Amino acid sequence: MKIILNGVEEIIPDGLSITDLIEWVKEGDPHLMVEVNNTYIYPKEYDRVWVRENDRIEMINPNLGG
């Protein structure tokens, strides 16, 4: 199915949770932040939130420099 991942259209397998999606894109940052349709998702919810067609998902690496 089609999603928009970090502003770019991606075709991903059906039936993925956020945890699955993180694995699918091979994102290894332990401090990764995830936003679905402009709402921040806390890590505890990653297994319970399912990716849907046309979702706009942002995978964010924290910026903590100054």
Q: How is residue 59 annotated by DSSP? A: E
- Asked if residue 15 binds other proteins (CB under 8 A), the reply is no
- Asked if residue 11 binds other proteins (CB under 8 A), the reply is no
State the nearest-atom distance from the C-beta of 53 to other proteins, in Å: 20
Any idea of the CA torsion for 55, 61, 65, 66, to the nearest 10 degrees?
Answer: -10
- Asked if residue 33 binds other proteins (CB under 8 A), the reply is yes
Cα torsion 14, 41, 34, 29: sign: negative
* Contacts to other proteins by CB under 8 A: 6-7, 29-31, 33, 35, 38-40, 42-44, 58, 60-66
